[in-house]
Amino acid sequence: MSATLQNLVNQPYKHGFVTDIETDVAPKGLSEQTIRMISAKKNEPEWLLEFRLNAYRSWLKMEEPTWANVKYTEIDFQAISYYAAPKPKAKLKSMDEVDPELLRTFEKLGVPLHERAALAGVAVDVIFDSVSVATTYKEKLAEVGIIFCAMSEAVQHHPELVQKYLGSVVPVGDNFYAALNSAVFTDGSFCYIPKGVKCPMDLSTYFRINTQESGQFERTLIIAEEGASVSYLEGCTAPKFDTNQLHAAVVELIALDNADIKYSTVQNWYAGDENGVGGIYNFVTKRGLAKGVNSRISWTQVETGSAITWKYPSCVLLGENSVGEFYSVALTNHHQQADTGTKMIHIGKNTRSTIVSKGISAGHSNNSYRGLVKVTPTAAGARNYSQCDSMLIGDQSGAHTFPYIQVRNNTAKVEHEASTSKIGEDQLFYFAQRGIGAEAAVSMIINGFCKDVFQQLPLEFAVEATNLLSFKLEGSVG
Amino acid sequence: MIYQDSKTILEVRGLRANVNGVEILKGLDLTVKSGEIHAIMGPNGSGKSTFSKVLAGHSAYEVTGGTVLFEGKNLFELAPEERARAGVFLAFQYPIEIPGVANSQFLRLTYNTVQAERGKDELDPLEFDDYVREKMKLLEMNPDFLDRSVNEGFSGGEKKRNEILQMAMLEPKLAILDETDSGLDIDALRIVSNGVNHLANKDNAMVLVTHYQRLLNYIVPDYVHVMEAGRIIKTGGKELALELETRGYDWVSAESKAARLAA
């Protein structure tokens, strides 16, 4: 590949700094004792400790999955610390008491924690390593009955809701990483939108890993009652370390009758250096249950970071006429590996799903789409449309598509389209001949390629995603 | 048209170039002055398209000797995008498809990039829309073109019109039209030729690379050059093209060989 293409992809990671802050880190290793320690630190009720221990016992019997199209050296789960939290000076009463070092960190990341400085119209919950450090606009949301807070807080104040829904979409023994998460999860966001309420602002969580030896195991639960709707955004970054950190999150969404949940992610975990050293292992289970009639769950993700991504945000379409959507852009560069896609499980009648996946591979990276469309015998009239496009930059990268389609109802209609393209020297020459340099050309081609997905993002996020992709690809084109 | 007070736009001396290590251009000389229209003809493989790509700066073509001055400056010191901004325009024989990128977006970016280079104001999307629609009338183009992806799914004629549209927008000093007539039906040929004639003026120059005399019925050249084996072996007026049409290229080749032997 020519030098221009090469240079365009090779941009430094700008979120790679470490915050120097006193941290309470648990000793490495995982045992029942670790789990009891986490549970005790969080002052959890007995049922939750049982939930964790159950998960841990299932996990012990499970094998790490090896079917994904990714390669990495075995993870030593005893070498990870399962809890890391900035030491609180005292119980916080207001944002002004948050450690200034933390405030500076998030300001540097573009996530101001003061409501007066916060993004207008977006409420943010901020997770630093294992704990939530701040949630903005909490009171304002409470006025309309919306609960938006850290998971550990929800466990204290709304235990009945947490107990009812936690693990109801992703059971403790669902898969290896979900079981691990269920055993050791530390914090995450909890959202509850009551009946008939349209959430007046976007809700957002910003995840930051800061500690080198710790893993991040957050747990997010979003419940939209009948007729409720919410748009939720998630962003993530981490410092540069030459070791790998494990991030194994679980996200559960539940949409009741006529409810609507839109979940958007811009994932920019540290991806490792140009030789593939360091970076986050992003092994995440995300699943939404469209439980009610006419409910809708929509996932939009822009995955640009992580050394390895293993992630399949899915929809279980149980309610009649429920809708599932998955819009994804996954960009890999250098030695990044991504195996990502979705599962659409059609159970209810006349359920519909749409999958639009755009994979971009540059450098020596490997990018796989893996998706399942399953129509069960009860899902009469189910429809699915899938479109999976891959774009290659340079000649050292790989793009793969693994679509699985299982249809057991003959009234269903399933469509799948796929394409592979390449940013070629000839395209770049054409742009150049019209006065447009390689960087602007690649950015325009990539944005055109990702248009269908970016359109799904909330406006601020769409701008951020566009910049992020251009930034990530800067220097990769020759 | 040949003018008395014209300036030299392009001066090529002894140009040599390789593709994949094979020498294609073997000492090409050519002088083009403002206001002039030159036609370069010649059999397949004589190096016509190579010449146009070398001028535009395609990386697959390696210049091994000779000089090219564009308005008195060394063209090879400029990157391809700098040449374009300076006013060198190549209408591609096979315009490239760019899926996903709207033609309007692409046209505006290229227009604004070149305008910025000339110290002129850029146009916002609305202003540009008015501007480009006006230009499109010249080429009898349907405004639908603006919403489609660049060249994707365009017919041969539509692609060529899109090239000339860009030329009309960018107002280059030197326009090289690489086999713009190939694949055009008679109507498209007329429309494209009208566009080119409309754009030709005393400050710019055109180089038409073509196989066929047909195009020259519509765009009348001041000079016709015959290329063979990487060099220009004969230059004449517009009547030379007609002679080539009836007699073919062999006699030029023989004449040139004889001349070299005599020397």
- Of A309-323, A461-475, B74-88, least confident by mean pLDDT is A461-475
pLDDT, mean of residues A268-278: 80
- What DSSP character marks residue A19? -
Distance of CA B202 to the CA centre of its chain: 17
pLDDT by residue (tens digit) across B60-109? 999 999 999 999 999 999 999 999 999 999 999 999 999 889 999 999 99
Element housing B189 (H / E): helix B186-199
**B178 Cα to chain A: minimum distance (Å):** 13
pLDDT, mean of residues A101-106: 67
pLDDT of residue A220: 94
pLDDT by residue (tens digit) across A369-405? 999 999 999 999 999 999 999 999 888 889 999 999 9
- Of A95-99, A117-121, B13-17, B135-139, least confident by mean pLDDT is A117-121
- A180 vs A281: CA distance, rounded Å: 14
Strands (E), A256-333: 260-267, 279-290, 296-303, 308-311, 314-317, 323-332
Confidence label for A113 from pLDDT (cuts 50, 70 and 90): low
- A145 vs A197: CA distance, rounded Å: 8
Residue A11 has pLDDT above 60, yes or no: no
Element housing A449 (H / E): helix A438-454
The whole-chain average pLDDT of chain A stands at 85
Radius of gyration of chain A (CA): 22
Report strand pairing: A352-361 vs A323-332: parallel
Decide if A430 and B85 are in contact by the 8 Å CB cutoff.
Answer: no
pLDDT, mean of residues A286-298: 98
Report percent pLDDT > 70 for chain A: 82
pLDDT, mean of residues A51-66: 94
pLDDT of residue A85: 76
Contact present, A220 and A252 (Cβ < 8 Å)? yes
pLDDT, mean of residues B164-168: 95
Partners of B101 on chain A (C-beta within 8 Å) are: 444-445, 448
Confidence label for A99 from pLDDT (cuts 50, 70 and 90): low
Partners of B96 on chain A (C-beta within 8 Å) are: 426-427, 429-430
Amino acid at B25: L
pLDDT of residue A239: 67
Q: How many CB pairs under 8 A join A and B?
A: 70
pLDDT, mean of residues A306-325: 95
Residue A95 has pLDDT above 60, yes or no: no
pLDDT of residue B114: 94
Q: Which of A2, A427, A436 sits opposite B113 (nearest CB)?
A: A436
Which residue in chain B is spatially nearest to A444 when comparing CA positions? B101
Residue A166 has pLDDT above 70, yes or no: yes
pLDDT, mean of residues A144-168: 94
Amino acid at B111: Y
Contact present, B226 and B250 (Cβ < 8 Å)? no
Q: Which of A2, A421, A429 sits opposite B80 (nearest CB)?
A: A429
CB of A387 less than 8 A from some CB of B: no
pLDDT of residue A447: 86
Decide if A433 and B90 are in contact by the 8 Å CB cutoff.
Answer: yes
pLDDT, mean of residues A308-336: 94
pLDDT, mean of residues A229-253: 83
Partners of B60 on chain A (C-beta within 8 Å) are: 425
Confidence label for A130 from pLDDT (cuts 50, 70 and 90): low
Six token digits for residue A214 = 């710790």
- A270 vs A267: CA distance, rounded Å: 9
SS (HEC) of A340-355: EEEEEEECCCCCEEEE
**A354 Cα to chain B: minimum distance (Å):** 19
pLDDT of residue A1: 36
Partners of A469 on chain B (C-beta within 8 Å) are: none
- B170 vs B151: CA distance, rounded Å: 18
Decide if B109 and A436 are in contact by the 8 Å CB cutoff.
Answer: yes
The more confident residue out of A102 and B202 is B202
pLDDT of residue B146: 93
**B102 Cα to chain A: minimum distance (Å):** 8
- Of A151-155, A233-237, A391-395, B137-141, least confident by mean pLDDT is A233-237
Which residue in chain A is spatially nearest to B115 when comparing CA positions? A435
Q: Is the pTM of this model over 0.80?
A: yes
Residue A124 has pLDDT above 80, yes or no: no
Six token digits for residue A45 = 């009720």
Report percent pLDDT > 90 for chain B: 81
pLDDT of residue B153: 92
Name the range with the highest mean pLDDT among A335-339, B14-18, B183-187. Answer: B14-18
- What DSSP character marks residue A475? B
- Upper half-sphere CA count for residue A32 (Cβ side, 13 Å): 6
Q: What ranges do the domains of chain A cover?
A: 2-473
CB of A48 less than 8 A from some CB of B: no
Confidence label for A421 from pLDDT (cuts 50, 70 and 90): confident
pLDDT by residue (tens digit) across A248-261? 999 999 999 999 99
- A87 vs A26: CA distance, rounded Å: 12
Report percent pLDDT > 90 for chain A: 49
Decide if B109 and A451 are in contact by the 8 Å CB cutoff.
Answer: no
